[in-house]
Amino acid sequence: MELVTVVAFALGFFALIMASVALHEVGHMVPAKLFGVRVPKYFVGFGPTLWSTTRGETEYGFKWFPLGGFVRLMGMYPPRPDGSRRRTRLSDFADGARESEWSEITPDDVANQRLFYQKKTWQKLIVMAGGPTMNLLIAFVLMLGVTAGYGVYRPQTTIAFVQQCVIADASRTECTAADPSTPAAQAGLQVGDRVVSFNGVPISSYTQLSDLIRANLDGPADIVVERNGQTVALPQVRTGINNLPDRLDPSHQVRAGWLGISPKQELTKGGPAEVLSDMWTMTQQSVVALAQFPVKIWDVVVGMVTGQPRDLYDPISIVGASQVAGQVAGSADLPVAQKFATFATLLASINLFLALFNFVPLPPLDGGHIAGAIYEWLRRKAAALFRRPDPGFFDTAKLLPIAYGVAGFLLIAGVALILADIVSPIQLF
């Protein structure tokens, strides 16, 4: 029965990811249609067509391989610039792609301004940003539902555990007389103490306290706590230095100040402000992960080939994300409400990452088209400022080699991650 639950929730989660992808494409399609761009195709998946239907001028449908989706906007490439131009392989390549698209463009499309390249810069930006923005909205709504309805476990300034000693031998857990005391034990911190200040700085959250401890390295620490309703100033100690997970990249260890305490975790409800704060933290972590993405992919491939276990912070494919969701659903240690909250939070984090990933300013990602529109606007403004002839539309077809290179890398990375998630899946429990 547990296996059935895991598989069912994994498949359900996969379907929700694909629904997020479908909504991403809706985010492009709706503003494009509102601005008059002809949209001939809207599909979920890739490969041969599984099913489709035509409504108006748009064909809607599903492809056989449900690993993404696309919406086709006519006129992504402007016409070839007038005048003589030296022929190069790049220009021939761009013209080939341009001719393929323009073979389906009608004179009415041009006359009625129904092509994407003809639209104003602000319209192009809205169309291209519409997809990632949809993912951001999905992430916000999901996280708001969890935060306001169920709550989020957040660390408090009240201490739940005090480590008494530093044990160098990993084979035992009990302290001996030879083990040095932790800074927390030396200061006399007790379970139930609420930290009021650290080195004279009033404490309002555990995150603030943790940051102060980390930054203190092995410096002196003056700690004031509230104990049994009384304010107690503890003896001064020196914090120790330990290898701790980096805030923005938990897979990386950094040397930081350490006290030897664990905070009380409390289920806390909140509203939009708390959600936006959480999304900002997740955004910073995702940006760091994106910067390391090629290296992380290589490490996953090497680990798969050499049989190394997967790290909890490794990148995963939508297959791996579905497996994780299934593991959460099948866990006997989590109450039902927490399972659904974790399920929704995981889906929200994937949508947030999809949004940020698509904002990367490289074609064929949405950010590449956004960057192209902004470059065209700047070039035209500069020409007007210096009273030069209008340079015309930016020839986005010239970026096709970059687009194919990026697409090829993403295809290889996607296949590698799917294989790794099948051969060596991440295990939460």
The set of catalytic residues is 25
CA atoms within 13 Å, Cβ hemisphere of 196: 10
Task: Return the ∠ at Cα 403 (arms to 394 and 366), rounded to 5°.
Answer: 70
Whole-angstrom Cα distance, residue 136 to residue 280?
A: 11
- Alpha-carbon torsion (257, 259, 265, 270), positive or negative: negative
| Contact status, residue 77 vs residue 118, Cβ threshold 8 Å | no
- Residue 357, SS3 per DSSP: helix
Give yes or no for a contact between 354 and 132, defined as CB atoms under 8 angstroms apart.
yes
Burial class (CB in 10 A: 0-12, 13-18, 19+), 233: exposed
Q: Report the C-alpha gap between 165 and 176 in whole angstroms.
A: 8
Strands 230-233 and 261-268, how do they pair?
A: unpaired
Cα separations (Å) of 64 from 61, 418, 422?
A: 10, 17, 20
What's the rounded Cα separation, in Å, for the pair 249 and 346? 18
- Residue 142: closest CA among 288, 17, 249: 17
